[in-house]
Structures are given as C-alpha cells and as structure tokens.
C-alpha cells in the first residue's frame, strides 16, 4: 500500500530526539536550507522535556514524547533510537504524519524505502508512511559508489571505515576529550562509552559481534548497500573501526567492476555526481581529511587510483560528516522530496 495523503506546502514538522546531537543538527539543517515549516514541534524524553531549543531564532519549548504528540503533525523526523522508533512511529503514521526515521528499526523492512537522495530518490515515492534513513557509513559510501556503478556494474567492494567518536554519541565525544587529557597528563581513566580506551587508539569493533565474526555495523553496510542500490549481487566485505577523531567518518574503498573503468572516466563521473566533491591532487597533497571537513554537507572523494591486483579495480578514499550527510542532512533531503 502506498501513502495517498499529500504533504502540505508548509508542513507541521516534529523532531523526535530534539535535544540530541542529530536532532539538534536536523533543526539546524532545516533552518539553513529554508525548509518551509508552518510550525516546528520539538519532542524528547521526559528527562529533557521543558528545555528550550531555538529554531529560526525563536525559542521552542521541548515537549515530552507521547503517543498523542503527533496530532496535527505532517512530517516527523525521528532520531531517538530504534526502541523509540518502534514504539512511536506507528502512532505518528496513524495521526497522518510521514515518518523519516534515522534509526535501524525499519531499514531492512521490505515495505519501507531506504533512501539516499543522490542514489535512489525515486524510492521515496513508494513509501507507506515510513521512510528509513540509512546507516551513516553506508550513506557516504553509496554516494561514491553510485556514479561508478553507472559506468559499469560493481562486482565487489572491500571497505574499511575510520569512524569518528561522535558516531557513538555525545558521551563518546566527551570520553575522547577526557581520555586525551588524562593520557597526556599520565593519568589513567577507565572507558565507559567504549569497550577500550579511544584516545590514541583504534577499536576494531562498532556495535555487537554476530555469529559469523562480523559486527552489526559491518552487516548494516552490506545489506543496506544492496537494498539502496537495488544490486543484490554486489559482494561487500566491511571492517568498521572507531578512531580518535571527533567528527567525520572516513572510508578506504576498493571497488571491483565487471568490466574496465578508466581512471579518467571514473574521476569525471565522480566529479559530476550530485552531493559529491572530488578533492584529489596528489601533487599538492590534496585529499579529504576528517579534521578539515567538519560541518560540511558534501561527500568527498580523493586518492582515486587503479587497483592492479584485480582485473577491473579502483581504490578511493571517502570522507563525510556523519552527523550532517550521514544523518541530519540526508533525512531533510528525503523530507524535501516529499514536498509538493
């Protein structure tokens, strides 16, 4: 069943998880992109209810999220975790709101579109009230893969991620700060946000381990990429690593095609792709780096080169701000497509 309620030109928008890092960024992106909002409703847990957030310079009182919160809401942007989405998304759609959900709750539901607007925007039109926002690491990878896949079908992808501490939330960022300070002062601090020390370290585990030895984060990259790109035959091997960077994920991506793709054609296709910026000049030591790209909206690609170890292979390096393009911006771009 497809959704048949039209979105008004100026919808009432609810942000669920309005005081969290992604919810805050969602409101900022809505403001910066001039999204036409009749009224914004800020929703959060009872713990945060009563706080004040600002939208377009005006204060908005945060309301406690309940099953009745969506009366009169046209669009609900969820970023409060999978359990909240599972409990509350149905109430939102029953009230007539379209849900754009940033959690993993609905991503692999065959009835729910999983959308990256630069890759599969048409899938938005087939929603039945809920549209899923993919995992942050998946989003930036498929933005880079799509123009290459259009040149020649991709057979296999091997990706290693270098994921920022902020991907695990504010507490994780705080822990990186505090552990860095303690380490430099020869003091010992016990980890709490991560299983191990994150300062001056890399942790090759994001999310829980699965039976095959991969982590759930790695599994997400595999299954979500296949769904978004409508390419179930692409083979994907992922290794996801948490690194002591505050914001922006980086990925080393090896791509094997079923036929030859020249470096020149690949570079031209990437440079012309929506939402993607080439930053690739080895002679000037120019390539994307997380420390320089915080707060940006594009997906950046550099270090593009031939992989001579396979018959038709390329290597590339991909960086994006995972709070912007990897979460808040992607959700707002989906919402923009819903507008009349």
pLDDT tens-digit series, residues 42-53: 999 999 999 999
Residue 187: CB atoms within 10 A of its CB come to 10
Q: How far is the C-alpha of 143 from the C-alpha of 127, rounded, in Å?
A: 21
**Torsion sign (Cα): 290, 293, 299, 305:** negative
Model pLDDT, residue 170: 86
**Torsion sign (Cα): 228, 232, 234, 237:** positive
Residue found by looking up tokens 């990256």 in the block: 116
Model pLDDT, residue 173: 93
pLDDT tens-digit profile of 290-317? 999 999 999 999 999 999 999 999 999 9
User: Of 91, 136, 240, 248, which one is the catalytic site residue?
Assistant: 136
User: At 76, is the secondary structure helix, strand, or coil?
Assistant: strand
Q: Is 202 a catalytic residue?
A: no
Residue of 299, 304, 292, 288 whose CA lies nearest to 322: 299
Reported confidence tier of residue 4, pLDDT bands at 50, 70, 90: confident
Mean pLDDT of the chain: 97
8 A C-beta contact, residue 53 and residue 42? yes
pLDDT tens-digit profile of 172-187? 999 999 999 999 999 9
Express as a percent the part of the chain with pLDDT over 70: 99
Reported confidence tier of residue 202, pLDDT bands at 50, 70, 90: very high
Residue found by looking up tokens 């009563």 in the block: 50
Q: Running DSSP on this structure, what letter comes out for residue 320? A: E
Using the predicted structure, report yes or no on whether residue 262 has a pLDDT greater than 70. Answer: yes
Q: Across the chain, where does the E strand assignment appear?
A: 12-16, 39-44, 52-55, 58-61, 63-64, 75-78, 98-101, 130-132, 154-163, 235-242, 249-257, 276-278, 299-307, 313-320
8 A C-beta contact, residue 119 and residue 146? yes
Structural domains of the chain sorted by starting position, each given as residue range(s) with its CATH number in brackets: 12-134+327-338 (3.40.50.720), 138-322 (3.30.360.10)
Q: What is the mean pLDDT of residues 188-208?
A: 96
User: Of 91, 127, 149, 249, which one is the catalytic site residue?
Assistant: 249
Q: How far is the C-alpha of 243 from the C-alpha of 286, rounded, in Å?
A: 21
Q: How far is the C-alpha of 176 from the C-alpha of 82, rounded, in Å?
A: 25
Model pLDDT, residue 169: 87
Within 20-132, residue ranges assigned H as helices are 21-32, 82-94
Q: Which two tokens stand for residue 79?
A: 């970023």
Residue 115: CB atoms within 10 A of its CB come to 27
Q: What is the mean pLDDT of residues 77-87?
A: 96
pLDDT tens-digit profile of 114-173? 999 999 999 999 999 999 999 999 999 999 999 999 999 999 999 999 999 999 988 999
Residue of 11, 84, 32, 38 whose CA lies nearest to 328: 32
Maximum alpha-carbon separation in the chain: 62
Residues 6+ apart with CB under 8 A from 177: none
Q: Is 248 a catalytic residue?
A: no
């Amino acid at each position: 069943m497809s959704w048949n309620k039209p979105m008004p030109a100026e919808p009432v928008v609810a942000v669920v998880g309005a005081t969290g890092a992604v919810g805050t960024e969602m409101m900022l992106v809505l403001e910066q992109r001039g999204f036409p909002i009749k009224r914004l409703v800020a929703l959060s847990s009872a713990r945060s209810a009563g706080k004040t957030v600002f939208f377009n310079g005006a204060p908005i009182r945060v309301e406690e999220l309940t099953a009745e919160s969506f009366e009169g809401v046209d669009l609900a942007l969820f970023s409060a975790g999978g359990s909240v989405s599972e409990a509350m998304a149905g109430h939102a759609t029953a009230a007539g709101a379209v849900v754009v959900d940033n959690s993993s709750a609905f991503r692999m539901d065959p009835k729910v579109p999983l959308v990256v607007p630069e890759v599969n925007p048409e899938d938005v039109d087939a929603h039945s009230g809920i549209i899923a926002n993919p995992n942050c690491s998946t989003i930036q990878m498929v933005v880079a893969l799509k123009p290459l896949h259009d040149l020649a079908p991709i057979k296999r992808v091997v990706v290693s991620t270098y994921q920022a501490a902020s991907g695990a939330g504010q507490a994780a960022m705080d822990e990186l700060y505090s552990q860095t300070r303690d380490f430099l002062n020869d003091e010992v601090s016990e980890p709490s946000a991560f299983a191990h020390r994150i300062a001056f370290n890399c942790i090759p585990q994001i999310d829980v381990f699965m039976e095959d030895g991969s982590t759930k984060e790695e599994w997400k990259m595999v299954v979500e990429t296949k769904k978004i790109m409508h390419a179930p035959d692409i083979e994907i091997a992922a290794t996801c690593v948490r690194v002591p960077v505050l914001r922006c994920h980086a990925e080393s991506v090896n791509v094997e095609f079923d036929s030859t793709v020249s470096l020149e054609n690949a570079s031209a296709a990437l440079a012309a792709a929506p939402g993607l910026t080439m930053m690739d000049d080895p002679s000037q030591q120019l390539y994307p780096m997380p420390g320089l790209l915080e707060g940006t909206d594009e997906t950046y690609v550099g270090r593009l080169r031939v992989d001579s170890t396979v018959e038709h292979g390329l290597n590339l390096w991909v960086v994006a701000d995972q709070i912007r393009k990897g979460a808040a911006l992607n959700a707002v771009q989906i919402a923009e497509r819903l507008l009349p």
